Structure 1
Amino acid sequence: MSQEPRTQALTPLDGAADEGVFGGKAVQLAAALRAGLPVPGGFALGWDVARAVRAGELDLDPLLVGLAPGPWAVRSSAIGEDSAGASFAGTHLSVLGVVGAAAVGDAVRRVHDSAHDPAAIAYREQHGLDPAPRMAVVLQEMVASDVAGVLFTRHPVTGARERLIEASWGLGEVVVSGQVTPDQYRLSPDGLLLECSTGEKDIALRLGPDGRVAEQVVAPHLVGARCLDDARLEALHRLASACDGVFGVEDHDIEFAFAGERLFLLQRRPITHG
């Protein structure tokens, strides 16, 4: 097969520039990548490509030949998602630890279908969005994280100008899904630690040797221990400051991961209240 169909179907993530085709999540990751921020590489599937895969009109298998088998994270990037007015946080499906071409195709179909879940439809109605969803998809290299979580550059409840960080062991999904009580850190806008509250982080999701995600019990001495030391907090502060320059605003909702001491930006969206 020639490279032209592959280019049309699998756009390198840093080339996803049109929000009307690739959705807000992909476009913001692309902007961060082009600016040199530490975003894992991958591909974007426009909403028309994802629809064709779901309808059986496009076979992804030949397009994935020559690519690493994974593990991949297959995430939603619906048109209108991760915008200033609608985050869709927790509404659409993400599939983690996807290995092999067949599994990628199946994950794309599942993510596409999540746009039609009752909760997603109700969210669209609540925010006055087009009731006919257009679901683009991000195919991103998985990070085997030791620690992960979320960072807000403005307190999402009080609106205070401070950095609020929640983190836990392993993959960040245990934080965003509420499976654990994460550590919570408050930093001043210039990165000074204001408060630290350790959580009860008794389980972790981790990548296994086969590239798939498995739940593990956290060692007792780590359940209540800090998972972010001062050096990691400083790295997160610098990442948030770098996002100010890339996106031209100071309000960010960031998902991050540390593999050892290496920090990755997994997702960035504006802070919303819905």
Structure 2
Amino acid sequence: MKLLKSVKGKVMVGTIAVTLFAGAGAAFGASDAGTKLGGWFTGQFNQSKADLSTNVNGYVGTKVAETLPKYNAMKAGTTTTIENERKTSTATANANIDKDLKEHKDALEKKKTELVTYTNTEFNKIFEAEKKKLHDLGVEAARQAQADMDKHTSEKGQVALATLNTELQATTDRAIDDLEAAIEAAKTNLQGNLNRNVEVKTADLKKIVDQEVKDFLLWAQGMANFSAQEQTDLIEAAAKKFEQDAKADMAALVDGI
């Protein structure tokens, strides 16, 4: 206000001087007023620029202080969302894998039990049938030998019959022992085959589980990158808009001087 009053007083004085001395040199008086006005304008203009810069910088600082917590909250929210999705997806995938693995193992166990039961039953049938055949053969041989021995003298017949019975019993016992050994060997072979199948299939299923986990991690990483990119794109767009708005406001302020 003092500056305006001072300038106004100078302008009035200059006007009086021009009036009084118009005949003595009007051109010189007008040149002096223009110089004074130009000097005043320069000072006012520089001050206005400084005020504009101060105001805008202060406004920008205020807006940055207001926006930064919101931006940080957005980042924290993004991290929470991504972490929650990772935990949920991992838990779901683990549960599904465990369920699928259990189903395979249960199916294998059921089939193994069926085959073992079937094998035991069938081999028991074979054993009993062969045992009966051998017994029948022994009985028949004994009967025939007895009939033949009756034609010989009593002494030789008794000796021959005793020898025959002893030999046939030994043959029968040996045959039964051999058959039992063959049955046990067959059982052992079958069980070994079953065990190898369980081991191989378990290893194969583990490889499948490992691959599923690897594929899931690749997918999860891609989704995380995509989600983060979406947020960074939004932030970048918001920053650009804020910049454009600020520039527009400054331009409007300058235009209004």
Please tell me the TM-score bracket, short chain as reference. under 0.3
Q: Select the structure that is richer in strand.
A: 1
Q: Select the structure that is richer in helix.
A: 2
Q: Which has the larger radius of gyration?
A: 2
